[in-house]
Amino acid sequence: MKNQTKLVRHNQVCTKIYMVLKGGFVCRFIDEELEIEKTINFFFPNFHPFMTCMDSFFSGKKSQSEIRAISNAEVIEFNKKDIETFIFQDLQLLRVYHA
């Protein structure tokens, strides 16, 4: 994907987890009412390679954040439904997921 591509948009429900293979990403918290944009995390292959908008992924609510590429990048995408199908088959994975 190209630099500045948004994987997760603000006010979108995030249903995916991504693993960064190449490039980098930034997660930014956005409060439109207060006009605040704040960087809250960076993701690179060797530094936080797994990324999602936690507030949305686990709650199913719209995200208050966005994830955007800060360079040309490659990711592997995992869908929440596929992850849940897999983890509900293994009690230990289910515990890790909920922790």
pLDDT at 98 over 80: no
Going by C-beta distance under 8 Å and a sequence separation of 6 or more, which residues neighbour residue 96? 87
> Which one, of 87, 83, 95, lies nearest residue 18 by Cα?
83
Query: What's the pLDDT tens digit per position in 3-50?
Result: 999 999 999 999 999 999 999 999 999 998 889 999 999 999 999 999
Region 80-93: mean pLDDT is: 87
